[in-house]
């Protein structure tokens, strides 16, 4: 039982997702969009109209934040962060010289994370045959080592840019965008702040 | 005077070089000025910022915890949301103060909760992974697979590290979806009541019931939609009865 749970927890795909900033932020926002409205709906001290209004507002706000984050912030900051780190901060060193884009590094990392060398070589051949990867000699040599270099600085630069993007996106941009979108959406759903308040006043 | 002008120009170029363009021409302008101070400042700031960013990148690349991003976002929310609320021009000053304080407190509750839940979950993950790794290693030995001590250690450590990371994310998600809303619902109202009571005592103002009546906009005035703290009635500004603030609105 414990082994089964640990196998799920240590699954390479899950671990890769868990260790990336954007996935953490997306998971947290998705949980917020369910948990917070749920808590409002579970509150027995308020009228049903107020509950509906507050829960819908919270759900729409979190959903907007998630959409803005995934659609705009992640791609912009991932690409921008990689380019900035490659050219300005690391000046094409510390592994940046091997990769032209962030997606190329992601492909490399997927293969490098495979512990078994035979499986790793098989995966590399498979992806090369499909023309999905086109690594240079240095990277192929690296992948044939017992423990290939994972170029943590590249990963770290992407994580840092994602972290900055998350802060800018979720604390500054997304609240403004979702405030502008939620009010008309709530009206379209027939949920109005005044209606909720007047209902509460009557009771 | 000439020296001052030269230093100013150099500083301007220095800012350009640092933040906008890092080409040879601008570097030449800074260093050809023969101004020792601007040259040293350029080198020192450029090196220290670059080294600082490199260190952060290295640490985040080696070990990126789920708690880092959620705590950073909560801290940023704790700064920006109250600031935006206070910057609203059309709202009543007292209402703004109340809303900003509530938003700040919500994030202040969130930060330690994320940290505690994340670390506790990671601890559980460590114990689980230790047991599972020992079992798997025994099974491997029984199947006749020979592993060196170093290979065993690598296997064990990678299991523990991965399991900790996964469970930390689960802990953070639990905190975000369940524990923080519950804590806010339970803690926020009494804490806000204490703070507002204390403030009223300190100011020594004799605030009568419904004294906000003339100052507040009509939308927030509602006889039943108020929170009572001592002798003062504060409007339920977020139209929200629970302890949380409807995000950014």
For residue range A15-37, list pLDDT tens digits in order.
777 777 888 888 888 998 888 88
Model pTM greater than 0.80?
Answer: no
Q: How far apart are CA B96 and CA B87, in angstroms?
A: 9
- Give the tens place of pLDDT for each residue, B81-98: 889 888 878 778 888 888
pLDDT band at B78 (very low <50, low <70, confident <90, very high): very high
Q: How far apart are CA A20 and CA A155, in angstroms?
A: 9
Give the E-state strand segments of chain A in sequence order: none
Q: How far apart are CA A86 and CA B26, in angstroms?
A: 20
Yes or no, beta carbons of A24 and B172 under 8 Å apart? yes
- Give the tens place of pLDDT for each residue, A51-108: 888 888 888 888 888 888 888 878 888 888 888 888 888 888 888 888 888 888 888 8
- Nearest by Cα to B67 from B116, B19, B131: B116
Q: Which residue of A has its CA nearest to B46?
A: A89
The verdict on B135 touching A (C-beta cutoff 8 Å) is yes
Contacts of A156 in chain B (CB under 8 A): 56-62, 64
Greater confidence, A60 or A201?
A: A60
Q: Interior CA angle at A51 toward A50 and A56, to 5°?
A: 100
How far away is chain A from the Cα of B80, in angstroms, using its nearest Cα?
7
Count of pairs with CB atoms under 8 A, one residue in A, one in B? 201
Place of tokens 């998705």: A30
Q: Which residue of B has its CA nearest to A151?
A: B61
Contact yes or no for A63/A34 (Cβ under 8 A): no
Q: How far apart are CA B218 and CA B177, in angstroms?
A: 33
Yes or no, beta carbons of A54 and B241 under 8 Å apart? yes
Q: Both ends of chain B: CA-CA distance in Å? A: 52
Name, in order, each residue with C-beta under 8 angstroms of B242's C-beta and a sequence gap of 6 or more. Answer: A39, A40, A43, A54, B181, B184, B185
pLDDT at B114: 94
pLDDT band at B246 (very low <50, low <70, confident <90, very high): very low
pLDDT at B112: 95
Q: Can you say how many angstroms the Cα of residue A193 is from the centroid of all Cα atoms in its chain?
A: 32
The verdict on B100 touching A (C-beta cutoff 8 Å) is no
Under DSSP, the state recorded for B196 is H
pLDDT at B226: 46
Tokens of A122: 């098989």
Q: Both ends of chain A: CA-CA distance in Å? A: 53
Which of B:225-244 have CB within 8 Å of A?
225, 238-242, 244
- Give the tens place of pLDDT for each residue, A134-193: 888 888 888 888 888 888 899 899 889 988 988 888 888 887 887 788 878 888 877 766
Yes or no, beta carbons of A54 and B80 under 8 Å apart? no
How far away is chain A from the Cα of B36, in angstroms, using its nearest Cα?
24
């Amino acid at each position: 039982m414990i082994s089964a749970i640990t196998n799920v927890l240590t699954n390479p795909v899950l671990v890769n997702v868990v260790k990336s900033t954007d996935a953490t932020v997306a998971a947290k926002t998705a949980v917020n969009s369910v948990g917070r409205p749920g808590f409002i709906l579970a509150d027995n001290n308020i009228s049903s109209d107020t509950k509906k209004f507050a829960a819908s507002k919270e759900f729409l706000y979190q959903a907007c934040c998630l959409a803005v984050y995934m659609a705009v912030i992640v791609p912009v900051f991932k690409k921008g962060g990689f380019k900035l780190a490659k050219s300005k901060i690391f000046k094409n060193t510390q592994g940046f010289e091997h990769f032209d884009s962030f997606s190329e590094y992601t492909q490399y990392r997927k293969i490098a994370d495979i512990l078994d060398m035979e499986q790793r070589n098989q995966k590399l051949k498979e992806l090369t045959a499909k023309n999905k990867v086109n690594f240079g000699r240095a990277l192929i040599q690296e992948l044939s080592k017992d423990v290939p270099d994972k170029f943590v600085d590249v990963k770290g630069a992407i994580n840092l840019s994602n972290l900055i993007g998350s802060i800018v996106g979720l604390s500054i941009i997304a609240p403004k965008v979702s405030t502008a979108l939620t009010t008309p959406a709530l009206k379209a759903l027939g949920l109005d702040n005044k209606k909720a308040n007047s209902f509460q006043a009557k009771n | 005077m000439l020296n001052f002008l030269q230093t100013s120009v150099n500083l301007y170029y220095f800012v350009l070089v640092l933040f906008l363009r890092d080409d040879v021409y601008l570097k030449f302008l800074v260093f050809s000025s023969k101004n020792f101070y601007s040259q040293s400042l350029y080198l020192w700031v450029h090196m220290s910022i670059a080294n600082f960013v490199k260190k952060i990148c290295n640490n985040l690349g080696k070990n990126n915890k789920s708690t880092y991003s959620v705590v950073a976002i909560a801290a940023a929310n704790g700064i920006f949301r109250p600031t935006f609320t206070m910057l609203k021009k059309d709202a009543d000053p007292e209402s703004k103060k109340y809303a900003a304080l509530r938003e700040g407190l919500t994030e202040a509750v969130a930060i330690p909760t994320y940290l505690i839940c994340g670390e506790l979950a990671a601890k559980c993950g460590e114990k689980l992974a230790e047991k599972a790794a020992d079992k798997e290693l025994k099974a491997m030995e029984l199947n006749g697979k020979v592993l060196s001590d170093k290979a065993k250690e690598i296997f064990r450590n990678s299991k523990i590290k991965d399991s900790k990371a996964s469970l930390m994310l689960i802990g953070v998600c639990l905190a975000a979806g369940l524990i923080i809303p519950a804590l806010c619902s339970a803690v926020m109202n009494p804490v806000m009541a204490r703070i507002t009571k204390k403030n009223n005592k300190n100011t020594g103002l004799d605030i009568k019931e419904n004294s906000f009546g003339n100052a507040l906009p009509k939308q927030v005035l509602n006889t039943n939609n108020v929170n009572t703290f001592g002798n003062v009635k504060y409007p339920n500004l977020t139209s929200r009865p629970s302890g949380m603030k409807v995000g950014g609105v």
